[in-house]
Structure 1
């Protein structure tokens, strides 16, 4: 069973265009607002990268306790984690994965993508039938492409800058649909994306994400758990995750937005992700009786 929500006015009032898909992981009921549109996913590409890392560990192709030394020359642009550290760091693959998910560390993601291979990530996605999801850039190439496309470094706030950026074109960027992202989350939460042990590990990492201002803002309750991965680019604010209630209800939600303004600080654009996700989950929970 599926349903539609008319969320257009709510998104517009927050200064964004929006897309959403939510599904009840127990019953399969779903609801959406333009859920099959292909869109740039920004740092949400780190979620399929995490899945492929886990699958390669299951297959014996790598050891998550393997330690890698990351030096200053390997730093990717970014405001968190290894990306802002100055000294050489030796760290395990699994701790790199923690940094990649919990604080969206770009350097950690690039080290792992080099170890795993983006071709393997895309092959995994195709094997699950996620044919509209692609990962074609690591974070270093992503930021390099923005400088190449605009002819200058950050900030990118002019309309002509945005029009030139391939990272905002889903045909040329890391991209997916809201529906395919909730399907991938469902595979993790039902132990189908990898072994039960590593699916549990992935769920644990997603539960450690530190950002509370998007999806989690719609569920400010001590007994409701929100696990997720956020993603941002100029005008793009996205988050995908799973909301778990004390009665056993589990709901995968993906909300993608594109702001009308290029401003970096748009609190309403962040908050509408949580607000619309809550409406979608409430709609699904109303059908549980």
Structure 2
């Protein structure tokens, strides 16, 4: 396989799965890259929780907060969602650190917004700017993001989200008006985390640990079905949108950051091929990077 053929193979895989996709892959140690639309602006959805986690640990490293600090989460006013605190019915008290775990492992929206109340959107954007990620920007809390979807969907509510005409007016799917990044920015963020450039080594290790605890195996991890290859990452989903950013670590020490963002015209909530192609594309890219060694 010629390395120059790799972007074409990746885009062919996207097309076969019925999605439009953009990818960037980075050898964390050598700096070698695969570019298949790396600078395309994309809606991050829950991938932006990685940015929040980095900002949280940056503040902790600076002494701006204590990760063991306890926060209250009463049932009223929680950001909606199907997992974690968002799905619980009773009052909860937990540490900032554990809220970060729920935010990443099961993509808990309520936990994310609890942290945003403590950290703030400005701190998230400051952390990204400090790392040179100039195309990565947080506009909304997750509760605010979902509020725009409700407003834009109109009186039809969730049922209207199967209508392609409604989909086209969702601000949450317009990178100019919502939380956004690019594949290249996200791999550079992951590279900074894995090289302990985003935070101190102690906090970098904590971020890597939590990313490795994500429970969803159906996207990027599906491309690396080996017991000795470890995949750590964060998914993101909205109507017609499926993303994941992550790092594949090989037993020989190879470390590869991959960011995949996809859109599809199909409004179905369940599209196994669209999920699986994230793993397929990531594997094509990583195989190409390993072939250069």
The TM-score normalised by the length of structure 2 is 0.96
Q: Deviations over 1:223-266 (max 9, x none)?
A: 00000000000000000000000000000000110012011010
Q: Which residue of 1 aligns with 2:7?
A: 5
- Does residue 143 of the first structure (1) align with residue 146 of the second (2)? yes
Q: Which residue of 2 aligns with 1:237?
A: 242
Q: Which residue of 2 aligns with 1:127?
A: 130
Alignment partners' CA distance in 2, 1:256 and 1:207: 20
Alignment partners' CA distance in 2, 1:59 and 1:129: 19
Alignment partners' CA distance in 1, 2:123 and 2:247: 25
Q: Deviations over 1:54-97 (max 9, x none)?
A: 00001111000001110011311100000010000000000000
Instruction: State whether residues 164 and 265 of structure 2, in contact with CA within 8 Å, keep that contact through their aligned partners in structure 1.
Output: no
Corresponding residue SS for 1:74: coil
Q: Once the 2 structures are TM-superposed, how far is the Cα of residue 32 of structure 1 from its aligned partner?
A: 1.6
Alignment partners' CA distance in 1, 2:193 and 2:77: 30
Q: Which residue of 2 aligns with 1:266?
A: 271
Instruction: State whether residues 96 and 115 of structure 2, in contact with CA within 8 Å, keep that contact through their aligned partners in structure 1.
Output: yes
Q: Which residue of 2 aligns with 1:62?
A: 65
Q: Which residue of 1 aligns with 2:228?
A: 223
More off after superposition, 3-12 vs 108-117: 3-12
Q: Which residue of 2 aligns with 1:248?
A: 253
Q: Deviations over 1:184-214 (max 9, x none)?
A: 0001000010110000000000000000000
The answer for unaligned runs of 5 or more in structure 2 is: none
2:34 to 10, 31, 36: 31
Write out aligned runs for 1:107-126 (5 A). 107-126=110-129
The TM-score normalised by the length of structure 1 is 0.98
Aligned length: 287
Q: Which residue of 1 aligns with 2:105?
A: 102
Alignment partners' CA distance in 1, 2:158 and 2:246: 29
Q: Which residue of 2 aligns with 1:202?
A: 207
Instruction: State whether residues 15 and 259 of structure 1, in contact with CA within 8 Å, keep that contact through their aligned partners in structure 2.
Output: yes
Alignment partners' CA distance in 1, 2:272 and 2:222: 11
2:158 to 154, 159, 162: 154
Corresponding residue SS for 2:26: strand
For the aligned residue pairs, the C-alpha RMSD in angstroms reads 1.0
Q: Deviations over 1:120-168 (max 9, x none)?
A: 1111111211111111111110111011112143241111211111110
Corresponding residue SS for 1:23: strand
The answer for unaligned runs of 5 or more in structure 1 is: none
Corresponding residue SS for 2:67: coil
Q: Once the 2 structures are TM-superposed, how far is the Cα of residue 5 of structure 1 from its aligned partner?
A: 1.2
Instruction: State whether residues 74 and 107 of structure 1, in contact with CA within 8 Å, keep that contact through their aligned partners in structure 2.
Output: no
- Does residue 72 of the first structure (1) align with residue 84 of the second (2)? no
Corresponding residue SS for 2:94: strand
Alignment partners' CA distance in 2, 1:224 and 1:111: 33
